[in-house]
Protein backbone atom coordinates (compact mmCIF):
# COMPACT_ATOMS: atom_id res chain seq x y z
CA UNK A 1 0.00 0.00 0.00
CA UNK A 2 2.01 2.87 -1.25
CA UNK A 3 0.04 5.84 -2.45
CA UNK A 4 -3.06 7.88 -1.78
CA UNK A 5 -5.09 8.80 -4.85
CA UNK A 6 -7.12 11.99 -4.83
CA UNK A 7 -10.07 11.35 -7.13
CA UNK A 8 -11.84 14.68 -7.45
CA UNK A 9 -15.02 15.21 -9.48
CA UNK A 10 -13.46 18.23 -11.10
CA UNK A 11 -10.34 20.30 -10.75
CA UNK A 12 -10.57 22.45 -7.67
CA UNK A 13 -14.00 21.19 -6.72
CA UNK A 14 -14.66 22.09 -3.05
CA UNK A 15 -15.75 18.54 -2.22
CA UNK A 16 -12.70 16.90 -3.76
CA UNK A 17 -10.98 14.88 -1.06
CA UNK A 18 -8.73 11.86 -0.52
CA UNK A 19 -10.72 8.67 -0.93
CA UNK A 20 -8.65 5.68 0.08
CA UNK A 21 -5.20 4.17 0.04
CA UNK A 22 -4.89 1.54 -2.65
CA UNK A 23 -2.35 -1.00 -3.71
CA UNK A 24 -0.85 -1.08 -7.19
CA UNK A 25 -3.18 -3.04 -9.43
CA UNK A 26 -2.58 -6.66 -10.15
CA UNK A 27 -4.18 -8.70 -12.90
CA UNK A 28 -7.49 -10.13 -11.73
CA UNK A 29 -7.15 -13.84 -12.47
CA UNK A 30 -10.56 -15.37 -11.99
CA UNK A 31 -10.13 -19.09 -11.83
CA UNK A 32 -13.62 -20.12 -11.92
CA UNK A 33 -16.79 -21.87 -11.12
CA UNK A 34 -18.27 -25.15 -12.20
CA UNK A 35 -20.91 -25.50 -14.87
CA UNK A 36 -23.83 -26.70 -12.79
CA UNK A 37 -22.56 -26.40 -9.24
CA UNK A 38 -20.12 -23.94 -7.76
CA UNK A 39 -19.38 -21.98 -4.66
CA UNK A 40 -18.32 -18.38 -4.55
CA UNK A 41 -15.48 -17.40 -2.32
CA UNK A 42 -15.59 -14.45 -0.01
CA UNK A 43 -17.35 -11.50 -1.63
CA UNK A 44 -17.23 -7.79 -1.13
CA UNK A 45 -19.75 -6.15 1.15
CA UNK A 46 -21.15 -4.54 -1.99
CA UNK A 47 -23.47 -6.92 -3.81
CA UNK A 48 -22.35 -8.30 -7.16
CA UNK A 49 -18.61 -7.72 -6.70
CA UNK A 50 -16.57 -10.50 -8.31
CA UNK A 51 -13.56 -11.57 -6.28
CA UNK A 52 -10.32 -13.36 -7.01
CA UNK A 53 -11.50 -16.33 -4.90
CA UNK A 54 -13.51 -18.04 -7.66
CA UNK A 55 -12.05 -21.50 -8.22
CA UNK A 56 -12.33 -24.54 -10.42
CA UNK A 57 -13.65 -23.79 -13.90
CA UNK A 58 -13.89 -27.19 -15.61
CA UNK A 59 -11.57 -27.73 -18.55
CA UNK A 60 -14.59 -28.86 -20.57
CA UNK A 61 -16.24 -25.45 -20.16
CA UNK A 62 -13.07 -23.64 -21.23
CA UNK A 63 -12.77 -25.94 -24.24
CA UNK A 64 -16.40 -25.39 -25.26
CA UNK A 65 -16.04 -21.64 -24.99
CA UNK A 66 -12.92 -21.68 -27.15
CA UNK A 67 -14.77 -23.76 -29.74
CA UNK A 68 -17.70 -21.34 -29.67
CA UNK A 69 -15.31 -18.39 -30.00
CA UNK A 70 -13.51 -19.93 -33.00
CA UNK A 71 -16.75 -20.59 -34.87
CA UNK A 72 -18.15 -17.15 -34.16
CA UNK A 73 -14.92 -15.57 -35.40
CA UNK A 74 -15.20 -17.53 -38.65
CA UNK A 75 -18.80 -16.37 -39.00
CA UNK A 76 -18.43 -12.72 -37.98
CA UNK A 77 -14.72 -11.98 -38.01
CA UNK A 78 -12.80 -10.20 -35.30
CA UNK A 79 -14.78 -7.19 -34.06
CA UNK A 80 -13.31 -3.72 -34.60
CA UNK A 81 -11.32 -2.32 -31.72
CA UNK A 82 -13.49 -0.49 -29.20
CA UNK A 83 -13.47 3.27 -29.03
CA UNK A 84 -11.88 4.18 -25.73
CA UNK A 85 -14.06 6.82 -24.14
CA UNK A 86 -13.11 8.28 -20.76
CA UNK A 87 -14.60 6.15 -17.94
CA UNK A 88 -17.27 8.67 -16.94
CA UNK A 89 -18.36 9.12 -20.56
CA UNK A 90 -18.55 5.34 -20.95
CA UNK A 91 -20.61 5.07 -17.78
CA UNK A 92 -23.20 7.58 -19.00
CA UNK A 93 -23.21 6.00 -22.47
CA UNK A 94 -23.89 2.59 -20.94
CA UNK A 95 -26.84 3.93 -18.96
CA UNK A 96 -28.19 5.46 -22.18
CA UNK A 97 -27.80 2.09 -23.95
CA UNK A 98 -30.35 0.37 -21.72
CA UNK A 99 -33.34 -0.96 -23.70
CA UNK A 100 -32.41 0.74 -26.95
CA UNK A 101 -30.22 0.21 -30.01
CA UNK A 102 -26.76 1.62 -30.64
CA UNK A 103 -28.00 4.31 -33.03
CA UNK A 104 -30.48 5.77 -30.55
CA UNK A 105 -27.94 5.49 -27.74
CA UNK A 106 -25.31 7.43 -29.68
CA UNK A 107 -27.83 10.07 -30.75
CA UNK A 108 -28.96 10.60 -27.16
CA UNK A 109 -25.36 10.86 -25.97
CA UNK A 110 -24.48 13.42 -28.66
CA UNK A 111 -27.61 15.44 -27.87
CA UNK A 112 -26.81 15.42 -24.15
CA UNK A 113 -23.24 16.63 -24.69
CA UNK A 114 -24.43 19.33 -27.08
CA UNK A 115 -27.04 20.60 -24.63
CA UNK A 116 -24.96 20.19 -21.45
CA UNK A 117 -21.26 20.00 -22.40
CA UNK A 118 -19.87 19.54 -18.87
CA UNK A 119 -20.78 16.72 -16.51
CA UNK A 120 -21.17 19.32 -13.76
CA UNK A 121 -23.83 20.92 -15.97
CA UNK A 122 -25.70 17.61 -16.14
CA UNK A 123 -25.39 17.05 -12.39
CA UNK A 124 -26.90 20.48 -11.70
CA UNK A 125 -29.57 20.46 -14.42
CA UNK A 126 -33.30 20.02 -13.68
CA UNK A 127 -34.52 16.57 -14.67
CA UNK A 128 -36.85 17.88 -17.44
CA UNK A 129 -33.83 19.47 -19.15
CA UNK A 130 -31.90 16.19 -19.08
CA UNK A 131 -34.96 14.25 -20.24
CA UNK A 132 -35.43 16.49 -23.27
CA UNK A 133 -31.76 16.16 -24.17
CA UNK A 134 -31.79 12.34 -24.14
CA UNK A 135 -35.31 11.77 -25.44
CA UNK A 136 -34.05 10.21 -28.68
CA UNK A 137 -32.61 7.28 -26.70
CA UNK A 138 -35.94 6.24 -25.18
CA UNK A 139 -36.95 5.82 -21.53
CA UNK A 140 -35.77 9.36 -20.78
CA UNK A 141 -37.87 9.66 -17.57
CA UNK A 142 -36.02 6.61 -16.21
CA UNK A 143 -32.52 7.31 -17.50
CA UNK A 144 -32.35 11.02 -16.67
CA UNK A 145 -32.61 10.56 -12.88
CA UNK A 146 -30.17 7.64 -13.01
CA UNK A 147 -27.56 9.69 -14.83
CA UNK A 148 -27.97 12.68 -12.55
CA UNK A 149 -27.88 10.51 -9.42
CA UNK A 150 -24.61 8.89 -10.52
CA UNK A 151 -22.99 12.24 -11.28
CA UNK A 152 -24.10 13.74 -7.99
CA UNK A 153 -22.93 10.69 -6.04
CA UNK A 154 -19.49 10.93 -7.62
CA UNK A 155 -19.28 14.60 -6.81
CA UNK A 156 -20.50 14.19 -3.23
CA UNK A 157 -17.98 11.40 -2.63
CA UNK A 158 -15.15 13.36 -4.23
CA UNK A 159 -14.53 10.65 -6.83
CA UNK A 160 -13.18 11.45 -10.27
CA UNK A 161 -13.39 8.69 -12.87
CA UNK A 162 -10.16 9.72 -14.55
CA UNK A 163 -7.93 7.42 -16.63
CA UNK A 164 -4.71 8.48 -14.92
CA UNK A 165 -6.12 8.27 -11.41
CA UNK A 166 -7.71 4.86 -12.00
CA UNK A 167 -4.85 3.21 -13.86
CA UNK A 168 -3.11 1.80 -10.80
CA UNK A 169 -6.19 0.76 -8.86
CA UNK A 170 -6.82 -2.97 -8.72
CA UNK A 171 -9.65 -4.35 -10.88
CA UNK A 172 -11.89 -5.53 -8.07
CA UNK A 173 -11.60 -2.20 -6.25
CA UNK A 174 -12.72 -0.38 -9.38
CA UNK A 175 -15.61 -2.79 -9.79
CA UNK A 176 -16.67 -2.19 -6.19
CA UNK A 177 -16.46 1.56 -6.69
CA UNK A 178 -18.76 1.39 -9.71
CA UNK A 179 -21.39 -0.98 -8.33
CA UNK A 180 -21.49 1.19 -5.22
CA UNK A 181 -22.97 4.01 -7.30
CA UNK A 182 -26.77 4.40 -7.46
CA UNK A 183 -28.32 2.35 -10.25
CA UNK A 184 -25.04 0.82 -11.45
CA UNK A 185 -25.12 -2.98 -11.62
CA UNK A 186 -22.53 -5.61 -12.58
CA UNK A 187 -23.19 -5.34 -16.32
CA UNK A 188 -22.81 -1.55 -16.43
CA UNK A 189 -19.67 -1.71 -14.29
CA UNK A 190 -18.19 -4.41 -16.52
CA UNK A 191 -18.88 -2.31 -19.64
CA UNK A 192 -16.95 0.63 -18.21
CA UNK A 193 -14.05 -1.57 -17.16
CA UNK A 194 -13.82 -3.50 -20.44
CA UNK A 195 -14.54 -0.81 -23.01
CA UNK A 196 -12.98 2.24 -21.39
CA UNK A 197 -10.16 0.82 -19.27
CA UNK A 198 -9.39 -2.48 -21.07
CA UNK A 199 -9.79 -4.45 -17.83
CA UNK A 200 -10.66 -8.17 -17.92
CA UNK A 201 -14.40 -8.00 -17.32
CA UNK A 202 -17.15 -9.69 -19.32
CA UNK A 203 -20.46 -7.79 -19.58
CA UNK A 204 -23.56 -9.91 -20.09
CA UNK A 205 -26.49 -8.28 -21.86
CA UNK A 206 -29.74 -9.92 -22.88
CA UNK A 207 -28.25 -11.41 -26.07
CA UNK A 208 -25.17 -12.89 -24.38
CA UNK A 209 -27.34 -14.26 -21.56
CA UNK A 210 -29.79 -15.89 -23.99
CA UNK A 211 -27.11 -17.53 -26.15
CA UNK A 212 -25.13 -18.79 -23.15
CA UNK A 213 -28.25 -20.33 -21.61
CA UNK A 214 -29.31 -22.06 -24.83
CA UNK A 215 -25.80 -23.45 -25.28
CA UNK A 216 -25.83 -24.82 -21.73
CA UNK A 217 -22.74 -22.84 -20.75
CA UNK A 218 -24.35 -21.84 -17.47
CA UNK A 219 -26.66 -23.61 -15.00
CA UNK A 220 -30.36 -23.81 -15.89
CA UNK A 221 -32.25 -20.63 -15.01
CA UNK A 222 -29.01 -18.81 -14.23
CA UNK A 223 -29.43 -15.09 -13.69
CA UNK A 224 -27.55 -12.61 -15.86
CA UNK A 225 -25.22 -11.89 -12.94
CA UNK A 226 -24.41 -15.57 -12.53
CA UNK A 227 -23.86 -15.89 -16.28
CA UNK A 228 -21.45 -12.96 -16.10
CA UNK A 229 -19.55 -14.58 -13.22
CA UNK A 230 -19.37 -17.95 -14.95
CA UNK A 231 -18.19 -16.78 -18.37
CA UNK A 232 -15.82 -14.18 -16.96
CA UNK A 233 -14.19 -16.88 -14.85
CA UNK A 234 -13.79 -19.21 -17.83
CA UNK A 235 -12.36 -16.74 -20.36
CA UNK A 236 -8.84 -15.42 -20.64
CA UNK A 237 -8.49 -11.65 -20.41
CA UNK A 238 -7.61 -11.30 -24.10
CA UNK A 239 -10.69 -13.31 -25.15
CA UNK A 240 -13.36 -11.32 -23.35
CA UNK A 241 -13.93 -8.43 -25.74
CA UNK A 242 -14.16 -10.55 -28.90
CA UNK A 243 -16.38 -13.22 -27.34
CA UNK A 244 -18.67 -10.56 -25.86
CA UNK A 245 -19.07 -8.72 -29.16
CA UNK A 246 -19.57 -11.83 -31.29
CA UNK A 247 -22.10 -13.36 -28.89
CA UNK A 248 -24.08 -10.12 -29.15
CA UNK A 249 -23.98 -10.25 -32.95
CA UNK A 250 -25.05 -13.89 -32.93
CA UNK A 251 -27.90 -13.14 -30.52
CA UNK A 252 -29.13 -10.24 -32.64
CA UNK A 253 -29.03 -11.98 -36.01
CA UNK A 254 -29.36 -15.75 -35.50
CA UNK A 255 -30.07 -16.80 -31.90
CA UNK A 256 -32.93 -14.34 -31.57
CA UNK A 257 -35.43 -14.40 -28.72
CA UNK A 258 -38.39 -15.82 -30.67
CA UNK A 259 -37.91 -18.64 -33.16
CA UNK A 260 -34.11 -18.63 -33.45
CA UNK A 261 -32.70 -19.50 -36.87
CA UNK A 262 -31.12 -22.79 -35.79
CA UNK A 263 -30.91 -24.06 -39.38
CA UNK A 264 -28.33 -21.35 -40.15
CA UNK A 265 -26.47 -21.42 -36.84
CA UNK A 266 -22.74 -22.16 -36.89
CA UNK A 267 -23.12 -23.57 -33.37
CA UNK A 268 -25.99 -25.90 -34.26
CA UNK A 269 -24.19 -29.16 -33.52
CA UNK A 270 -22.86 -27.82 -30.20
CA UNK A 271 -26.18 -26.53 -28.94
CA UNK A 272 -28.70 -28.47 -26.80
CA UNK A 273 -31.22 -25.66 -27.53
CA UNK A 274 -32.16 -25.25 -23.89
CA UNK A 275 -35.43 -23.36 -23.61
CA UNK A 276 -36.05 -23.25 -27.37
CA UNK A 277 -39.68 -24.13 -28.15
CA UNK A 278 -39.82 -23.30 -31.85
CA UNK A 279 -37.03 -22.57 -34.28
CA UNK A 280 -36.49 -21.95 -37.96
Dist CA 214 CA 259 (whole Å):
12
Dist CA 75 CA 166 (whole Å):
36
Question: Do the beta carbons of residue 4 and residue 21 sit within 8 Å?
Answer: yes
Close Cβ partners of 67 (under 8 Å, ≥ 6 residues apart): 270
Enclosing H/E stretch for 4: strand 3-6
187 is catalytic: yes
Closest Cα partner for 260 from 243, 247, 245, 277?
Answer: 277
The SS3 of residue 31 is strand
For 240, phi and psi rounded to 5 degrees? Answer: -65, -45
Q: Which of 115, 143, 187, 221 is catalytic?
A: 187
Closest Cα partner for 113 from 97, 133, 83?
Answer: 133
Question: Do the beta carbons of residue 200 and residue 240 sit within 8 Å?
Answer: yes
Catalytically active residues, by annotation: 187
Amino acid sequence: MDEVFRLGFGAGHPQSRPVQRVEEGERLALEGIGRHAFTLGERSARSGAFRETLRGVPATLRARLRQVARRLRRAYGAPPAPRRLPPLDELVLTILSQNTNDTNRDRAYADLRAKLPLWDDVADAPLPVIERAIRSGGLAPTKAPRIRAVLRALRERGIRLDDRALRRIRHDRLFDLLVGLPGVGPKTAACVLLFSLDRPYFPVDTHVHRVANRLGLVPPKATAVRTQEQLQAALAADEMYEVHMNLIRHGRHVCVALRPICSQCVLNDLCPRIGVVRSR
